[in-house]
Structure 1
Amino acid sequence: MSRADSTPVVGTDPGADDGLLLPRPPGVLRRFWSRHPRLADVLIAGAALLLSLPSALFRSGFPTQPTAAETALASVLVIAACVALVFRRRWPLLVFALCVLPSVVLAPSLVPATQILPAFALYAVAVYRSARAAWSCFGIACAALTLATAIAAIRVPSELSLVATTLVSGVVVMLIGGLLGTNVGNRRRYLEALIDRSRQLLVERDQQAQLAAAAERTRIAREMHDIVSHNLTVVVALAEGATATADPERARTATEQIAATARGALTEMRAMLGVLREPEATPGALLPLESASFADAVEAAQRAGFPVVLHTEGSLDGLPADIRLATFRVVQESLTNAMRHAPRATLIDVQVVVDEAAVDVVVVNNGVPSVLAAISPGVRGGYGIPGLRERAAHVGGSFTAGPGDDGRWLVRARIPLPTAPREERRE
């Protein structure tokens, strides 16, 4: 469907269609009436007047003929009811009451002239209010007409057959109007519900897109933080060591390690940006898992002069990529924090245990100052620990970081593994 064949919602502001392109109403006449509702109301009121007023002025078939005053009253009520039909969209219930009134209060010989008016009004109630309101009005109107007919038959028993016929014909005409209005009204409300649902889905789609974009930005920022923070921390430590030493050979070794660390960081950055440029990239790990090596992270910290010890049990091979990367990032960021905030640590112990149920990561260092250990984690700000907590939660795990009972700083993460056997996960 092209844009030329579409139009905003019929009867609404074209600028308020919320981006929906809806088919145009079929038929030239229907599109014309949808654009000019007031003209349609005036023409309907005029048609009702032409069908009702002449019948009130001409001689009827009833033996008892209306007086001049009754005829004048009928003309006024008919004209008033027809004028009210112009406002049937805004006040359908009030208009219906005004249209039923002539059939109730006028003489039996004048009632046939007013029978078409309640049908038009009941149609409007069904379309612009509800089907339940329309049938409630129909029942009330039938009761009122029946009561008026019974009173007229009691007054003039000879005209019983005529007033009964008038009652039946009035009820039938009003029933036709109610059925037509119910059909049109239900279709109208169904289309409005579909359009409202389409608007809601459009809003939800935009919200989901915004949430997805925000989540993607957070994920990229987390990866950038892990890469840049860790490698720059190692570079700073090596540069400080090269500056402090008076041995040219040790300084040269430190600068070579700085270059190697920087090249590794650039490689990780290129790999991550390359994945981001792929239009069909899955929302998995942003980095190739070949670069996610515990030994490399520990060796980099050791080259910077930190006493890091690595203990591993089990293997990460065959585990999902997101779990392997999350485990590596926990170790990497924990070492980065230790190098930043525990420069006097005499031991940084890294333990990675893989069993059939979960991956447990524990990183402990004993170089945290007592003042820093008394501060609750997360109060100082920063994105490292919150990022690790989010990463662990993303793979269904838990993460804690804070001072231990013996004054050491303890980082612990537990990531549950899928229930499938290890052989199936390797496949």
Structure 2
Amino acid sequence: MTSGNRSSTSPDDELRLPRPPGVMRRFWARHPRIADVLVAGVCLLVSLVPATSFRGDGDAVGIARYWPMTGPVVVGLVILGCASLLLRRRFPRAVFVLAVVVAHAYLLAPVAVGGLLLCMSAYSLAVYRSTRACLIGVGIALGSLATSAAVLGLTGVIGPAIAWNAVIGEAVVTTIGALIGTNVGNRKRYVAALIDRSRQLVVERDQQTQLAAASERERIARELHDIVAHSLTVMVALAEGVAASTEMDRARPGATAIATTGREALRDMRATLGVLRDPDAAPLAPLARDTAAETIASARAAGFDATLTVAGERPELSSAVQLAISRIAQEAVTNAIRHARGATRIDLRIAYEPASVTITVTDDGEPLDAPPVATGGYGLRGLRERVELTGGAVEAGPAPGRGWRVRAVLPLEQENHDESS
């Protein structure tokens, strides 16, 4: 149940965002439709009442004489424009275009009238689209309105008061709406970008955790394979020797070696599993020790003529290099014991140089069953992965004359590789 709950947790649940400040702000955020209805109602009241208060008669001059015919058109456009504010969140461009049409329709009124429709539509365009779209829309709207007012005013169709109100009044309220909308829209987009980035960070954190867990599982599997495969191989060889012996005195050292190998394997496994239980322990630090001599001793106990040769002065080694040396030697010797048919001799050579260390394991058996590193089993694949983690190279193939040889070269400078691993 716990794992299922964790896997179903969404990034939004882990963000734990604070509530918006203010009771009213939270109310409008939860009920946007109510806010849209109130805005549309206020705009309708402010815009429609002045237009419907005038009654044209036969003595009127200019556009006023046509008000009985143009009045229903203007009123209808005002109602339609205010009703469109209900859709300003989804279609701010369409609402703004309709508001510009209504602003032009005000020019047909017999008196100077105006409203908040263009102001609210400019605000909505800046908040729900972009600042650039708002600036372009306001520029086009005011330019077209000024042009229409100038043409109608110069031709005497409308009076100066109506023309000036159309240009100055609408320019003032539209600029106010655009400035407020730009401020609110930029803040809204900034907060949305922060939240989106936070979601991405949560997802990346989960992905990094999964990758780290997979890498650690692979690392532990490699360590346990090295421990178990080597120890069991030696124990099987020793047990076969004990079973073949008919004398108790000759069988006793083999049985003692089996017990010793088993205790060492248990110790290494406890050390590996102890790293998992202790969150403050460095990964695999308890296993970073020189086990080359123990590996050769195990091969001798299994009946092989095994030798260890160390060339050069041993420098101060990092834990990664020391662990790699021990595991490479252990894996190569174990493969020789298991797969080299007819082998009687195993030679392990560790050569220290100023910038690198070379590990060479050679046997004198028939190399028919020994696979190359590129196509080997899990043990050789883990050996190759371990060498690559330290930035080194490994090769395996027939030795000159007879037998099989595994040769690995590891660089001694491990700062970058330790950090990446």
Distance 1:110 1:363, change over 3 A: farther
Q: Which residue of 1 aligns with 2:346?
A: 348
Q: CA deviation at 1:277?
A: 2.2
Residue 87 of structure 1 aligns with an amino acid whose one-letter code is: L
**Which deviates further from its counterpart, 107-116 or 26-35?**
107-116
Structure 1 pair 288–322 and aligned structure 2 pair: CA distance change class (3 A): closer
Q: Name 2:272's counterpart in structure 1.
A: 272
Distance 1:54 1:158 in 2: 20
CA displacement, residues 275-320 of structure 1 (integer Å, 9 cap, x when unaligned): 332221123534152xx32111101101101222221113445211
Counterpart for residue 124 of structure 1: 124
Using the TM superposition, give the Cα deviation of residue 159 of structure 1 relative to its aligned residue in structure 2, in angstroms: 2.7
Q: Which residue of 1 aligns with 2:310?
A: 312
* Separation in 2, partners of 1:128, 1:157: 37
The one-character-per-residue Cα deviations of 1:142-200 (angstroms, maximum 9, x if unpaired) are 22112211221222188346413431221111111111111000000000000001111
Summarize deviations over 1:121-143 as a string: whole Å, max 9, x none.
11111101111111111111122
Provide the residue aligned with 1:82 in structure 2.
Answer: 82
Distance 1:347 1:116, change over 3 A: same
Distance 2:276 2:176 in 1: 65
Tell me which of 33, 36, 49 is aligned to 2:44.
49
In 1, distance between residues paired with 2:112 and 2:402? 100
Indicate whether 1:169 and 2:169 are aligned: yes
- Residues 100, 141 of structure 1: 8 Å contact kept: yes
Q: What is the SS of the residue equivalent to 2:170?
A: helix
2:403 to 397, 408, 415: 408
Which residue identity lines up with residue 294 of structure 2 in the other structure? Answer: D
Q: Tell me, yes or no, if structure 1 residue 34 matches structure 2 residue 34.
A: no
Distance 2:224 2:127 in 1: 59
Partner of 2:199: 199
Q: How does 1:16-415 map to 2 (within 5 A)?
A: 17-59=12-54, 64=62, 65=64, 67-109=67-109, 112-156=112-156, 159-160=159-160, 162-287=162-287, 289=289, 292-316=290-314, 318-370=316-368, 372=369, 376-379=372-375, 382-404=377-399, 406=401, 408-415=403-410
Q: Is the 8 A contact 2:77 2:105 kept in 1?
A: no
Alpha-carbon separation, structure 2, partners of 1:415 and 1:25:
58
Could you report, residue by residue, the CA deviation over 1:337-379 in whole angstroms, capped at 9, with x for unpaired residues? Answer: 1111014114322111111101111112231343x35x54453
Q: 2:361 aligns to what SS in structure 1? A: strand
| Larger deviation, residues 313-322 vs 252-261 | 313-322
Say if 1:271 and 1:17 are closer, same or farther in 2 by CA, change over 3 A: closer
Amino acid at match of 2:282: T
Q: Which stretch shifts more, 194-203 or 348-357?
A: 348-357
Closer/same/farther in 2, CA of residues 115 and 152 from structure 1, 3 Å limit: farther
User: Matched residues in 1 for 2:236 and 2:117: separation?
Assistant: 91
Give the TM-score normalised by the residue count of structure 1: 0.88
CA distance in structure 2 between the aligned counterparts of 1:112 and 1:232, rounded to whole angstroms: 100
Q: Sort the Cα spacing of 1:138 and 1:205 in 2 relative to 1 into closer, same or farther, 3 A.
A: same
CA distance in 2, matches of 1:219, 1:283: 9
Q: Distance in 2 between matches of 1:284 and 1:394?
A: 14
Q: Over residues 64-115 of structure 1, what are the superposed CA-to-partner deviations in whole Å (9 max), with x where a residue is unaligned? A: 4251121111110000001111000011101111111022245354685444
Structure 1: runs of 5 or more not aligned = 1-13, 421-427
Amino acid of the structure 1 residue aligned with 2:332: S
Deviates more, 1:208-217 or 1:176-185: 208-217
Are the counterparts in 1 of residues 74 and 109 from structure 2 also a CA contact under 8 Å? no
How far does the alpha carbon of each residue in 1:185-223 deviate from its partner, in whole angstroms, 9 at most, with x for none? 000000000000111111111111111111111111111
What percentage of residue pairs aligned between the two structures are identical? 46
Change (3 A) 1:257 1:185: same
Which whole-Å CA distance do the structure 2 matches of 1:108 and 1:155 have between them? 14
Pairing 1:410-425 to 2, within 5 Å after superposition: 410-418=405-413
Instruction: Output the CA distance in 1 between the equivalents of 2:305 and 2:284.
Output: 33
Aligned AA (2:52): L
Give the residue type in structure 1 aligned to 2:91.
W
1:419–1:229 CA distance, 2 compared to 1 (3 A): closer
Distance 1:394 1:328 in 2: 15
Provide the secondary structure at the position in 1 that maps to 2:310: strand
Whichever residue aligns with residue 295 of structure 1, its letter is A
One-letter code aligned to 1:231:
S
The letter of the residue matching 1:410 is R
